[in-house]
Structure formats: C-alpha cells, structure tokens
Amino acid sequence: MSFLRPKDDTQPWKGRYQPYDLIKEASIAVGVITLLAVLLTVLFSSPDDKSSTISQWSHELPVNFATAAATELNGTSGTAGYGPPYNHNSQGTQAWILRPQKWLGVSHPINTADDFVIKPLETVSSDPALQRGVAEYKAAPEKQKQEWADAYAKPLEEYATAEEEKKTAPSTVSVDLSTGTVTVQASGAGPVPLMMTSLLSLAKSGGLEGGLVTSSQFFQTDYTKPLLFMADGGLLAERAEGQHLLGEQWGMMNETGSYPGQPWLWLYALWYQVEPFKSSENADILVMLVMGVLSLAFICIPFIPGINMLPRKIPIYRLIWKEHYRAQQNA
C-alpha cells in the first residue's frame, strides 16, 4: 500500500533565495485593484432607478390599475389564490411529501378584498356617498358581493383582451387621458363602480400606498401589501420587460442594469429553462432540491472514493512549485 502514501514534500528549501518586497507588491496590487474598481464602476455601474409606486401605477396605467383592483375584489388575483403565507386558498409549492408552505402556515394573513380595497376606502371619511356605498357592499351577502365584483371586472377583462389583440376597445370602458379617470359601464355592479373610481383617486393622491403600509410599528418597514398589489397588475411586468427580466433571457442580477449582477446564481437559473422544471408549478422547490443534492455532493468530495484521489493522481501543485521540486531532485 506504499503507493497510497505521498512523497514527503516538507523538506527544507536548499535552493537560492531572492529579495522580496512584500510592501511594494501589496501597494501595487491595491493600486491596480482600486483603479480597476473605479474604471468598471464608471463604465458598467447599475443605474439608480427610482422605486415603483402605486401612485405611479395609477397615473401611467389607470385601466390596468382598475383591472387589478377588480381582481382583488372578486378574489381572482394572483395574491388571492397564492396560499400560505397569505391565505388558505392554495396548497402552495410542493414536491413529493415536501409541502413547506403548508407546514409553515399563514403567517402574514391577507384578504385582498378587505386589505386592498375596503379598508383603504373606509379611510376616506370626507366622502359620504362613498361611505354609504362601502357600507352597502359590506352588508351584502357573499354571493351578491361576488356578482357585483364580477360584473365590474368583466368589461375590464374584455378591454384588456382587446388591447392585447390590437382590436377596438369595447365602449363599456372609457378613459379620460387628460385626467386619467376610468369609467366602466357595468350593469348589476351595485356600488362597485363608485368604490373603484374612489380607489383610483386615492391611489393617485398617494393615500392608498400610505394606507397599505400602516402598522403598529414606529418604523414602517413592511411593504408586503403594496408590493403584492402592484405584482397583481402590469406596472412591474412592464418595467421588467424594459430591463429584459421577464425570464426569456435566463440569468440573475441583483439590481437593474447589466453589471456585475449575480453570476454565481447561473446554476440555479439554468434549471428553470429545462424540463420538467420549466413547465412545473412547483419549479422553485424542485430546483432547490436539485441544488441541495449537488451542494451536498460537492461538500462530500473529500470522502468519495476515487474522486478524493485526483489531487494525488494529477499533482497540479507540483507544476506551480516546479522550481522547488526541481531543486530538491538535483540536491
């Protein structure tokens, strides 16, 4: 078994020595790295874009805002059907017996109709007609509420479909570009049109976003609700399209712009582009499982027979320190 014992490479150095200025080399290295950092920052740094807001959304895309608000009210939005940690309307991501969202439960309860529409409108105490409409809506049976919300949402869905297919927009939805107001002619919608018109006005004033981040804490750091509301609309998707972040080009970046991004995440992003992950609703947990197995295999390399012998079979270090070993052989 002598071939398993490596040659003793710890013998004292008997070759010649050369003067070496460590301070000089360190100074040069720091200077070069500093120059490169400044140069790369000037050439490739990411722009400091402003944050998206609900007020911006309601001004730039008023119809899209009204459409998203209607889906929050009738419970068909992405947030309404997301499941834990926001609600119980879905089981969440799962793989085999692993159901992390279900196990962790609802830790941040959100009722989209109440939190995104009803409660913000109740803060507009200066509008008696609106408050009567909100009270009428709240007092109605659940079935009636759903019928009203669906009746209002239907013309907006038809409008969105017509816009997407480049067809003539239905006359039931009209937009005043000068004021940014949206008028929806929906029969059988009860007080919902009045509520939505007021919600759009509240959003434009900035009051809606302020109401969604209100909490009992002194510092307001929880922006979950406004982010989820905007995610159910089209503003963030439009902004992502402008930055090529829709997923058509796979990759990762930690902020807007193209440099330096997160190149170490390429292996995670890769799996989302291949089947079965690409078409799976549980792609997130499946990718994490694959990466967990690969990471564990990487950690266990020193203990895997055959692989742990490669450094001895392919002694790269001898090429790096070739002068040392050549002098040792000649001694």
Amino acid occupying residue 114: D
pLDDT digits (tens, 9 = 90+) for 271-307: 888 888 888 888 889 999 999 999 998 898 888 888 8
pTM of the model: 0.73
Instruction: Using DSSP, state whether 173 is helix, strand or coil.
Output: strand
What pLDDT score does 260 carry?
55
Number of alpha carbons in the 13 Å side-chain half-sphere of residue 222:
10
- Strand 173-176 and strand 181-184: pairing? antiparallel
More confident residue, 70 or 330: 70
Q: Find tokens 């409409």 and name the residue.
A: 133
CA 259 to CA 280: how far, in whole Å? 30
- Give every CB contact of residue 185 below 8 A, 6+ residues apart in sequence: 155, 171, 172, 173, 174
More confident residue, 317 or 55: 55
What secondary structure letter does DSSP report for 235? H
Q: What is the mean pLDDT of residues 43-52?
A: 76
What pLDDT score does 293 carry?
93
Q: What is the mean pLDDT of residues 155-170?
A: 84
R_g over Cα of the chain:
30
What pLDDT score does 161 carry?
86
